[in-house]
Amino acid sequence: MFAIYRKELVLFLTSLTGLLAIFIFLILLGLFLWILPSDHTGTNILDNGFAQFDGLFNMAPWLYLFLIPAITMRSISEELKSGTIEFLLTKPLSEYAVIFAKFLAGITLVIISLIPTLFYVYTVFQLGSPRGNLDWGALCGSYLGLIMLASVFVAVGIFVQHFLINR
């Protein structure tokens, strides 16, 4: 199972599609949080006047609606395209172990896409008055909730791919 997990991560991180999906996610999130003015949505951190990340946690689920299908659509369809699905399913692993390895790889990729957003936390930590005026409980809980939501999105994407293959 670990070999399938590692293969999925390497395939995604070495492909142009994978890196482009993460790059576009981070660019759009940065634009909404720091550059584009916010009228009534409150997504721009600098326009709020408060050291809070409501914009990040409001925008990220919408951006994940585009990032996560790019991750999950590729996971099983690449096996079909290259013809390795038969080889993979004849290994001494159960079908659920293969699906779980692909699920864990998808979650890992989502977490990799979230790691650069910790730079935003450091920036707001420095900009706060007084310095470090952040609600750490809400911040950690929101990151955990975002990872949980992303894991549901990945699970649905893997399920749909598996369902379409076994149809």
- Asked if 24 contacts 30 with a C-beta cutoff of 8 angstroms, the reply is no
**What is the predicted pLDDT for the residue at 167?**
67
Token reading at 133: 């005026």
**What is the predicted pLDDT for the residue at 43?**
72
3-state secondary structure of 50: coil
Range of the domain at 20: 2-165
**What is the predicted pLDDT for the residue at 26?**
92
Q: How far apart are CA 98 and CA 8, in angstroms?
A: 11
Helix, strand and coil content of the chain, in percent to the nearest 5, comes to 80, 0, 20
**What is the predicted pLDDT for the residue at 84?**
74
**What is the predicted pLDDT for the residue at 53?**
80
- Asked if 155 contacts 103 with a C-beta cutoff of 8 angstroms, the reply is yes
Find the farthest-apart pair of alpha carbons in the chain and give their distance in angstroms, rounded: 60
| The total number of structural domains that make up the chain | 1
How confident is the model over 109-122, as pLDDT tens digits? 999 999 999 998 89
**What is the predicted pLDDT for the residue at 160?**
86
Q: Could you report the average pLDDT of every consecutive run of 10 residues in the chain (167 residues)?
A: 87 85 90 77 70 81 88 78 73 81 91 92 85 86 95 92 72
* Prediction pTM value: 0.85
Per residue in 16-32, is it b (16+ CB within 10 Å) or e — as a string? eebeebbeebbebbeeb
